[in-house]
Amino acid sequence: MLSIIFGTIACSCLCGFWGAATSGIFLVSLISVTLVCQRFTLWGDLSFSGGSLSVLMVLLSLMLCFFSLISTPSEKDVKYIFWILIIGLILVSAFSIGNVIMFYVLFEASLIPTLMLIIGWGYQPERLQAGTYMMIYTVAASLPLLALLIFRCYECSSGSIAMMSSIPYSGAGVLVFVGYAAFLVKLPMYSFHLWLPKAHVEAPLAGSMLLAGILLKLGGYGLFQMNKVFFFAGGNLPVFILCAISMWGGLLSSLMCLRQVDMKALVAYSSVGHMGIVAAGLMLDRSWGVMSATVIMFAHGLSSSALFCLAYFTYVKSHSRSLSYLGGILSLYPVVSLFWFGFCCINMAAPLTLNLLGELLIVPCLWSVSIFMVIVMALMVFVSAAYNMFLYTSINHGAPSTFLVPGKPLRSFEMLSLVVHSAPLLLLLKSEIFI
């Protein structure tokens, strides 16, 4: 193992940036295989505060940071690479820390490098407004949580999440809205989601990949940790209200996808729908719900990141994100169309995909609460298939757009980026990690 690590470091020194990126991906793959063999059980529970979920999110963070560097080789600015590495460091620390106050600090610190990427490398002047929306929404919702966490640390005489999980919480049940608010805005839950489409539309490719792929999952991981700190989850009325809002909001955001004309905005609103399922599964805190949230967070992290890559690669060829000015990709760029078809199928939870497994696992959890939530879930699945088919047909079918110029379908780094996004989904589909 040491010889392999030293060999990859030597390759990085000799080959420069691309050597570092390739060596990093190799190391991440090696660690992933090691963790898969250990089945995410004893080693993960002893090393990370969140157990299996923590290990999985750390791996996802590392992979997406390297994938974002691969997808943007033209960005050679040292500051650009620096902020991506800072995001990776903050995320790995947040997913592995065992102190609730330090977790809160890292949770808030993740906004800084994201804001720098949006403002520094965004495409339009509106990126300043998008950064302001993101900061105001997330910081305003998380400040009351800080006061609640300080009270909880004083009550338990410790900031350790493991210690708090064994001491009953004596606060009022209505404080569930305060404890969950910061993370529901980060996910985001519908009605607090306005910052997400704006941030995605104005962010550069790496910013969109990291924001959709892993930064949103930090909100889901926060819900998981708050269940252990405050014992909020279960059968109380505030939790049921929040779950109902999450499910209905997911359905409404899926319907909004059918009215979008911007590729990136459509993918961003689809993330709101998927994260509504994650929020409901984690807040209900049934075993099926937590399992469903874990699967969806990992699968959505890779599929949404790949869809933003495809949207950017298509934008480079047409210089437009509007679906009205696109069409005929299938006849001009068949390989691009093939990837659009594959990732749209993954995003719509087609059979033999991890997204389908995650959506099926939450059905028993919702059934135990209310049959109406199952009906909402069924409608969400139907609408999800509809807007993914709308996205695929709008871009790929029909007469070729005059804005498209025939040329080389995909460059080597674009093909590599899309393949490495799909490879973990195919490998984990055959494994027994989630069983």
Q: What's the pLDDT tens digit per position in 209-262?
A: 999 888 899 999 999 988 888 877 666 788 888 899 999 999 999 999 999 989
**Does residue 113 lie within any of the structural domains?**
yes
CA–CA distances in Å: residue 73 to residues 76, 303, 410, 428: 7, 21, 14, 28
Contact 67, 97 (CB under 8 A): no
Q: What is the pLDDT of residue 424?
A: 78
**Does residue 435 lie within any of the structural domains?**
no
CA–CA distances in Å: residue 431 to residues 45, 329, 351: 20, 34, 16
Contact 317, 325 (CB under 8 A): no
**Does residue 19 lie within any of the structural domains?**
no
For 300-365, give the secondary structure using H, E and C. HHHHHHHHHHHHHHHHHHHCCCEHHHCCCHHHHCHHHHHHHHHHHHHHCCCCCCHHHHHHHHHHHH
Nearest to 25 by CA among 429, 413, 430: 413
The alpha carbon of residue 210 and the mean position of all alpha carbons in its chain are separated, in whole angstroms, by 7
* Cross-strand partners of 262: 322
Q: What is the pLDDT of residue 50?
A: 55
Output the DSSP codes for 398-418: SSPPTT-----S--HHHHHHH
Could you report how far apart the first and last alpha carbons of the chain are, in Å? 29
The vertex-416 CA angle with 3 and 113, nearest 5°, equals 80
Per-residue pLDDT of 131-176, as tens digits, reads 888 888 888 888 888 888 988 888 888 888 888 888 887 776 678 8
Question: What's the number of domains the chain is made of?
Answer: 1
Q: Which of the two residues, 30 and 220, has the higher pLDDT score?
A: 220
Amino acid code (one letter) for 13: C
Residue 431 has pLDDT above 90, yes or no: no
Q: Which domain holds residue 389?
A: 38-429
Q: Which of the two residues, 392 and 320, has the higher pLDDT score?
A: 392
CA 226 to CA 205: how far, in whole Å?
31
What 8-state DSSP symbol labels residue 51? T
Q: What is the pLDDT of residue 430?
A: 52
**Does residue 193 lie within any of the structural domains?**
yes
Residue with tokens 């899926």: 254
Kindly report the backbone phi and psi dihedral angles of residue 406, in degrees, each rounded to the nearest multiple of 5, phi listed first: -60, 140
CA–CA distances in Å: residue 20 to residues 12, 16, 414: 4, 6, 18
Residue 37 has pLDDT above 60, yes or no: no
Contact 384, 270 (CB under 8 A): yes
What 8-state DSSP symbol labels residue 397? S
Q: Which of the two residues, 291 and 235, has the higher pLDDT score?
A: 291
For 269-289, give the secondary structure using H, E and C. HHHHHHHHHHHHHHHHCCHHH
**Does residue 23 lie within any of the structural domains?**
no
CA 45 to CA 61: how far, in whole Å?
18
**Does residue 274 lie within any of the structural domains?**
yes
Residues 6+ apart with CB under 8 A from 157: none
Q: What is the pLDDT of residue 234?
A: 65
Nearest to 264 by CA among 315, 213, 329: 315
**Does residue 20 lie within any of the structural domains?**
no
Q: Which of the two residues, 394 and 317, has the higher pLDDT score?
A: 394
**Does residue 57 lie within any of the structural domains?**
yes
Q: What is the pLDDT of residue 381?
A: 93
Amino acid code (one letter) for 111: L
Q: What is the pLDDT of residue 10?
A: 38
Per-residue pLDDT of 53-90, as tens digits, reads 888 898 899 889 888 988 888 877 788 888 998 998 89
Q: What is the pLDDT of residue 392?
A: 94
Residue 11 has pLDDT above 50, yes or no: no
Q: What is the pLDDT of residue 162?
A: 84
Nearest to 117 by CA among 65, 154, 165: 65
CA–CA distances in Å: residue 260 to residues 254, 324, 401: 10, 10, 19
